[in-house]
């Protein structure tokens, strides 16, 4: 049961992280369009460790939205699946979470690859990458556990 609670907590924390990053990315875009002074993100530590520098890159935007906006959809789905799986004691929900987490890790891999090539590292994005990897491991372990 602790694994399920950990998945729920990580999904919730990661969702709010994605909300912050999405809001900040749109705010940064607005400031650049209005040619106003750009405010820094809380995770702007240096030129390399910088969330705002990441959202200045084209690869951080997909179809006109920041990739973090997509995460705002992924994490609530994971939360809901984990909650239903916990309530119904059905491991199939955790298989679905595991598959979603693997796909999201591959998407994150695309972003991380581009970050490393520049190099720019978004610490808040890195936290979400660690969270989704942890969710993948926990959900996989739940599917292999004889009891839920």
**pLDDT, tens only, 110-138:** 999 999 999 999 999 999 999 999 999 99
Q: Which whole-number Å values give the CA distances from 75 to 7, 57, 70, 117, 131, in the listed order?
A: 10, 24, 9, 27, 10
Residue 57 and residue 46 in contact, taking contact as beta carbons nearer than 8 Å: no
Percent of the chain with pLDDT over 70: 99
Tally the residues of the chain: 148
Residue 36 or 71, more confident: 71
Q: Within 10 Å of residue 117's Cβ, how many Cβ atoms?
A: 9
Residue 82 and residue 4 in contact, taking contact as beta carbons nearer than 8 Å: yes
Asked if pLDDT for residue 37 goes beyond 80, the answer is no
Average pLDDT of the residues of the chain: 92
Q: Domain segments of the chain: what residues?
A: 2-144
Paired residues of 49 in beta bridges: 121
Domain 2-144 fold: de novo design (two linked rop proteins) (1.20.1440)
């Amino acid at each position: 049961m602790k694994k399920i609670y950990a998945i729920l907590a990580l999904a919730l924390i990661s969702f709010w992280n994605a909300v912050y990053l999405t809001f900040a990315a749109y705010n940064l875009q607005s400031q650049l369009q209005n040619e106003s002074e750009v405010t820094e993100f809380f995770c702007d530590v240096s030129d390399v460790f910088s969330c705002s520098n990441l959202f200045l890159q084209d690869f951080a935007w997909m179809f006109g939205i920041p990739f973090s906006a997509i995460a705002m959809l992924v994490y609530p789905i994971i939360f809901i699946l984990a909650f239903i799986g916990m309530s119904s004691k059905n491991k199939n929900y955790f298989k679905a979470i595991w598959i979603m987490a693997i796909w999201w890790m591959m998407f994150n891999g695309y972003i991380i690859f581009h970050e490393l090539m520049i190099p720019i590292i978004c610490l808040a994005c890195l936290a979400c990458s660690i969270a989704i990897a942890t969710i993948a491991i926990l959900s996989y372990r739940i599917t292999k556990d004889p009891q839920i």
